[in-house]
Structure 1
Amino acid sequence: MRAKFSALLLPAIFVLLTSAQLFPDPATYVLKDKFVGRDFLNGFNWETFDDPTHGRVNYVDKNTALQRGLTSASDTKFFMRADNKTMVAPGARGRDSVRITSYQAYGDGIYILDLSHMPEGCSTWPAWWSTSQQGPWPQGGEIDIIEGVNIGATNLASLHTTPGCSMPPYRLQAGTAVSASCDTSVNSNQGCGTSLRYGTYGTSFNVAGGGYFAMRRARDHGISVWYIKRDPFLLPDGPDPDFLISRIPDASFPTGNNCNYQDHFNDHNVIFDLTFCGDWAGSVWGTSSCANAAPTCTAFVDNNPSAFSNAYWEINSLKIYTPVGPPLITP
């Protein structure tokens, strides 16, 4: 009985030992950049290269996106959407869509996204993420904050790195770990991922009126991701850094001996994109109920423009806070 009792305690002991990541951070976070509405038009670059994840997508430049209504902005809102009017010719690169990358690169800090709607629907693969400005990928790391495919209802947060980075099996987080190795050369670049709870992705997120996603990256804490439900009574102005770091993260990626932070992560550009099919959404098409709509993911994208009427981002704001003051020194 003693041996069995001790074994059961091991996960709890590990969680207690790793709970140092939630201790109050002595650094003060100050707002460095805030993007609202038209701020995105000046702070981000519209990428037009071929999709590196092999999606059935044609990323268009800013002028084209604005002219065709794939990008729009007001004083308080910023939208990015897929084309939902045009059939895609067999020889074309793919369905028109948008991928934007911040001109500025950021390091340690807290990134808070106020999101009313994310792209949803069969074949879609939207993501809010960051990757090294210096590169080349995967050097400097990749952090996926929002990501999912097809008609899923749970968000996947994950890291992708060079070799030598993995996550411990037990850590203090509300989500469920689905993979441990962050190394891009392992498991077909699955990365180390944590699945968040139902309602954090796709239609289920949108019908609830959206919410907040946040990510903290810090040398002495590692990387954490939070999902916060929209609650105008509790949080009329949305969550702030103090509110977030007092809560258990939905996804926790502690760094240390298992993953040296400075070796694997440097300053990152912030990216929003919407691709279709490709290495993930396309590879699981046959196991999704979406397969009832078309024999292949590509065929669905090409022949069903109206199916993409809800494939859009509606962003209220993106706030990026950076730390000032002494860092926490972990014993």
Structure 2
Amino acid sequence: MHDFYADDQGRYQTAGHMSENGQLASAHPPAYGSWNGDASPYSKWDPRGWSLKNKIFLALGIIVVIVAIIVGSVLGVRANRYPNYSKLDYTLQDTFSGSSFFDNFEYFTGTDPANGFVQYISRANAQWLNLTYASSESAVLKVDTTYSGSQAASGRQSVRITSNNTYADGLFVFDILHTPYGCGTWPALWLTDPSNWPEHGEIDIVEAANGGTFGNQATLHTSDGCSMGVKRKETGSVQNKNCYYKENDYSGCGVTGTDSTYGPEFNSNGGGVYAMELRSAGIRVWQWARSNIPSDITSGSPDPSTWGTAFADFPNTDCSIGSHFKNQSIIANIDLCGDWAGADKYYKTQSDCPNTCKTFVRDNATSFTNAYWEFKSFKVYQSS
């Protein structure tokens, strides 16, 4: 007995025959291939014909692709994290200028924490030696240019001042007429809490060493857990990304500007303005030559949202700004030799300065005629 089935042309074909006991001896022919089972009855694209091994490989491949997509998306989102530097309305809180400039500061007279070959002196001695003085136009802080040899055997006399007021945040605008430079010098304009360093952080706004021909460096020094290996928007060149004070030979996470941002070139252009914004979203530093100072700074209504890309950008992405920076005082000083300016790789190799740093500083008083800060004003704004 035979069974019949209709092919796709509508014709009946023999499908098989019945055995004598009535059982079907051969069912419908395979969909593909021959009657003798030489090939699978399924297309190679039909999973029903795949082996278990191939199905497992497919499943693993799909899982790998899905994981790769998820990881890629997460990494992409993470790499593009960036804080919201929304506009803040700033009002003037403190002004340091004119003949009373130094009344706002204390004079540090202790041993130099940075191992400098320097004697920081009191206000009375600084005034007697004419190392600090102020007029209606500017305030000057400088290094002694008188004593040499045995008179400077313990280091050359200089000044370090710390503001009486402290700040948790704010916009700091520094109008600078002259930056110090010369072999052996290490000047800085910075913020920190001297009684709680490094736990409360350090923000170096203007800093350089020796000849001052390599541009300004803005740097953070913090306790552990502050990294700048994240998306940033800045025009300066990144030196290091880990801000932990012990890393990278205690150099912090610095950003360096062009030659014109410090030293002889900066001074010859009439100086300029540095601005530093300290807020929960991050820390940013801008710098302008005298001829390019934004009009809103000149008018006394600064608006950082209009200033464009900062010179240095330290976002809060992987660094809790509020946790790492507290109780900040403004500090200005001129150190001599020390951990930066006195290191051979900076004093000799980079700057080609003579003798050893300490010998030069001790014996060459008149070489420090350009080792002085001249400030037009410091202004501190706070958001309302």
TM class, shorter-length: 0.7 to 0.9
Q: CA deviation at 1:91?
A: 7.3
For the pair 1:323 / 2:361, whether they are aligned, the reply is no
Q: Give the corresponding residue for 1:20.
A: 84
Q: CA deviation at 1:201?
A: 1.1
Q: Give the corresponding residue for 2:140.
A: 79
Q: CA deviation at 1:270?
A: 0.5
Q: Give the corresponding residue for 1:59.
A: 120
Q: Give the corresponding residue for 1:262.
A: 322
Q: Give the corresponding residue for 2:190.
A: 129
For residues 157 and 30 of structure 1, what CA distance do their matches in structure 2 show?
A: 25
Within-5 A mapping of 1:121-200: 121-132=182-193, 135-151=195-211, 152-200=213-261
Greater CA drift, 37-46 or 106-115: 37-46
Q: CA deviation at 1:287?
A: 0.7
CA contact (8 A) 2:273 2:293 kept: no
Unaligned runs of 5+ in 2: 1-71
For residues 102 and 348 of structure 2, what CA distance do their matches in structure 1 show?
A: 38
Tell which structure's C-alpha radius of gyration is larger.
Answer: 2
Normalised TM-score (structure 2): 0.75
Identity rate of aligned residues, in percent?
A: 37
Q: Give the corresponding residue for 1:109.
A: 170
Q: Give the corresponding residue for 1:310.
A: 370
Q: Of 282, 286, 291, which aligns to 2:348?
A: 286
Q: CA deviation at 1:300?
A: 0.9
CA contact (8 A) 1:110 1:241 kept: no
Q: Give the corresponding residue for 1:218.
A: 279
For residues 235 and 168 of structure 1, what CA distance do their matches in structure 2 show?
A: 33
CA contact (8 A) 1:131 1:143 kept: yes
Give the letter for the 1:18 counterpart: Y
Give the letter for the 2:338 counterpart: G
CA contact (8 A) 1:14 1:171 kept: no
For residues 91 and 76 of structure 1, what CA distance do their matches in structure 2 show?
A: 32
Say if 1:91 and 1:176 are closer, same or farther in 2 by CA, change over 3 A.
closer
Within-5 A mapping of 1:236-247: 238=298, 242-246=302-306, 247=308
Q: Give the corresponding residue for 1:271.
A: 331
Say if 1:201 and 1:168 are closer, same or farther in 2 by CA, change over 3 A.
same
For residues 65 and 90 of structure 1, what CA distance do their matches in structure 2 show?
A: 16
CA contact (8 A) 2:193 2:200 kept: yes
SS of 2:352's equivalent in the other structure is helix
Unaligned runs of 5+ in 1: 1-6, 325-331
SS of 2:150's equivalent in the other structure is coil
Runs of 4+ residues over 6 Å off in structure 1 = none
For residues 241 and 196 of structure 1, what CA distance do their matches in structure 2 show?
A: 26
Q: How many residues were matched structurally? A: 307
Greater relative contact order (Cα < 8 A, sep 6+): 1
CA contact (8 A) 1:150 1:290 kept: no
- Which structure has the highest strand share of the two? 1
CA contact (8 A) 1:196 1:250 kept: yes
For residues 259 and 238 of structure 1, what CA distance do their matches in structure 2 show?
A: 32
Q: CA deviation at 1:237?
A: 6.0
Deviations 1:162-202 (A, max 9, x none): 00001025411111111000001212211011111221111
Q: Give the corresponding residue for 1:329.
A: none
Normalised TM-score (structure 1): 0.86
